[in-house]
């Protein structure tokens, strides 16, 4: 039995944050009905290349397994009535329309909860329902306006976005936590509630130590490339071949690093003996480390450093990263089978549960003009 078996979710969300959340819940056993526009469906059905062998955009595939699809035209009175009826039969409704859209349709929390007091209703927006309600909630925009780009990239270069829509993923994870919390409360009290997630707040919370440096110390973080504001050495280094990442988090690890590099006396130097002193003298520290690291290839240093407990590694591309995970026995790729028997290969759900593990029952759905059997 899956942990969320019997939980019914009506999913009006599109693109990434909402679909990511509902896929997570679907993996854990929930029944997810994805409501899509006739003829078009989710925006990401058109977001390619790349495409898989069946010609489906991999963006859509990445966040839509374990769902059924139903097409409804919410501007049509009959379809709108069907949507309302489906909502009344669901435990959870999730949507990421612009604030105010669901109210106009009568599909908002207040309207639906009048006759369904146990309903959990999750709304995901870009900047909340107040003064920012008219701002478009695109991940890139939030990365810029939420400060992430200001701390990403080299100090001399331009601000950079992260290489994936990270804010959407974070918001999806926060939505998942909020939904599960509200579902637990609803089951215990028979009282539903509204879950509100916005991308900007999700990002500010996820900036963790960088946010706290401002809120608690008044320090505004800046771009530092691959360096860490509070730890050294914790960055990328050149070697005789390939780049090497060192993530030295303790004084003991630093002493071990120095021993491996033939720099034992460096660990005793007052300028480098503690993390605080290493951060203060990171430029000079880097010079010492670079000279030593340049004598051997990265693979050599990874083996030597790892053998004494120092976190070190090379920079993998995505293919190499999956191969690395496979070599560790993490089985990072799962497969789901389409109705026609073809397979879709996707990253696995990372949540390990000993009794109720994630399951992969349904391939990302085709866009079908059909009614849900549950409507």
Based on the domain organization, do 65 and 197 belong to the same domain? yes
Lowest-pLDDT choice from 46-50, 128-132, 243-247, 332-336: 128-132
Whether residue 300 sits in one domain with residue 335? no
Dmax over CA atoms of the chain, in Å, equals: 79
C-alpha span between 15 and 42 (Å, rounded): 6
Cβ atoms of residues 93 and 112 within 8 Å: yes
Count Cα neighbours of 363 within 13 Å in the Cβ-side half-sphere: 17
Question: Coil, strand, or helix at residue 217?
Answer: helix
Q: Which residues contact 323 (CB under 8 A, 6 or more apart)?
A: none
Which residue range is the domain that position 296 belongs to? Answer: 234-238+243-314
Query: The CATH number of the domain where 280 resides is what?
Result: 3.30.1540.10
Of 11, 108, 168, 198, catalytic:
168
Q: Which residue has the higher pLDDT, 12 or 134?
A: 12
Query: What's 168's domain CATH number?
Result: 3.40.50.10540
Q: Give the pair of three-digit tokens for residue 266.
A: 């460096």
Burial of 92: CB neighbours in 10 Å, binned 0-12, 13-18, 19+: buried
Q: What pLDDT was estimated at residue 368?
A: 78
Q: How many helices (H) and strands (E) does the chain have?
A: 14, 11
- Number of domains into which the chain is organized: 2
* Residues 153 and 159 sit within 8 Å (Cβ to Cβ): yes
Let me know whether 178 and 307 are in one domain. no
Is residue 302 domain-shared with residue 343, that is, in the same domain?
A: no
Residue 183 has which token pair?
């579902």
Alpha carbon of residue 46 to chain centroid: 21
Write out pLDDT tens, residues 284-295. 999 999 999 999
Q: Is residue 213 part of a domain?
A: no
Return the CA Rg of the chain. Answer: 25
Instruction: Report the alpha-carbon distance of residue 80 to residue 62 in Å, rounded.
Output: 28
Whether residues 162 and 248 fall in one domain: no
How far apart CA 58 and CA 127 sit, in angstroms, is: 28
Residues 34 and 182 in one domain: yes
| 2 belongs to a structural domain | no
Residues 185 and 255 in one domain: no
What is the number of alpha carbons within 13 Å of residue 11 lying toward its C-beta? 37
- Answer whether 0.85 is exceeded by the pTM: yes
Concerning whether 168 is annotated as a catalytic residue, the answer is yes
Residues 48 and 83 in one domain: yes
Q: What is the mean pLDDT of residues 3-26?
A: 97
The pLDDT of residue 369 is: 59
DSSP of 245-306: EEE--SHHHHHHHHHHHT-GGGGGSTTTSSHHHHHHTHHHHHHHHHHHHTTS-HHHHHHHHH
Q: Following CA atoms 227, 16, 19, 74 in sequence, which dihedral angle do they give, to the nearest 10 degrees?
A: 160
Residue 36 sits in the same domain as residue 152: yes
Strands 193-198 and 120-125: parallel
What pLDDT digit, counting tens, does each position of 187-196 carry? Answer: 999 999 999 9
pLDDT for the residue 371: 45
pLDDT (tens digit, 9 = 90+) per residue, 46-83? 999 999 999 999 999 999 999 999 999 999 999 999 99
Distance, first Cα to last Cα, the chain = 25
Q: 13-22, 125-134, 207-216: which range is least confident on average?
A: 125-134
Whether residues 343 and 303 fall in one domain: no
Closest CA to 189 of 267, 254, 117, 100: 117
In a domain, 216, yes or no: no
Kindly state whether residue 81 falls inside one of the protein's structural domains: yes
């Amino acid at each position: 039995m899956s942990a969320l078996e019997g939980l019914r979710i009506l999913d009006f969300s599109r693109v990434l944050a909402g679909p990511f959340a509902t896929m997570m819940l679907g993996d854990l056993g929930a029944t997810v009905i994805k409501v899509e526009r006739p003829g078009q469906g989710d925006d990401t059905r058109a977001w390619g290349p790349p495409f898989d062998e069946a010609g489906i955009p991999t963006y859509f595939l990445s966040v839509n397994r374990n769902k059924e699809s139903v097409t409804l035209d919410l501007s049509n009175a009959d379809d709108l009535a069907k949507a309302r009826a489906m909502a009344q039969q669901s435990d959870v409704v999730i949507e990421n329309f612009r604030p105010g859209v669901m109210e106009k349709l009568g599909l908002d929390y207040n309207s639906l909860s009048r006759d369904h007091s146990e309903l959990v209703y999750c709304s995901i927006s870009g900047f909340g329902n107040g003064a920012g309600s008219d701002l478009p909630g695109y991940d890139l925009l939030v990365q810029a306006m939420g400060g992430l780009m200001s701390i990403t990239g080299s100090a001399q270069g331009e601000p950079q976005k992260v290489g994936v829509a990270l804010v959407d993923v974070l918001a999806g994870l926060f939505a998942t936590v909020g939904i599960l919390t509200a579902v637990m409360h609803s089951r215990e009290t028979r009282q539903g509630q509204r879950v509100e997630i916005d991308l900007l707040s999700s990002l500010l919370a996820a900036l963790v130590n960088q946010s706290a440096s401002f809120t608690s110390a008044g320090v505004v973080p800046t771009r530092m490339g691959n360096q860490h504001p509070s730890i050294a050495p914790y960055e990328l280094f050149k070697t005789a071949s390939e780049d090497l990442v060192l993530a030295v988090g303790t004084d003991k690890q630093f002493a071990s690093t120095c021993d491996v590099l033939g720099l034992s006396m460096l660990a005793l130097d007052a300028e480098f003996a503690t993390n605080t002193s290493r951060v203060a003298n990171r430029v000079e520290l880097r010079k010492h480390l670079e000279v030593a690291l340049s004598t051997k290839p990265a693979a050599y240093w990874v083996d030597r450093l790892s053998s004494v407990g120092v976190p070190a590694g090379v920079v993998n591309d995505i293919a190499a990263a999956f191969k690395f995970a496979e070599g560790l026995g993490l089985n990072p790729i799962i497969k789901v089978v389409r109705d026609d028997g073809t397979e879709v290969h996707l990253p696995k759900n990372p949540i390990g549960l000993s009794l109720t593990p994630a399951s992969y029952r349904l391939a990302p759905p085709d866009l079908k003009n059909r009614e849900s059997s549950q409507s």
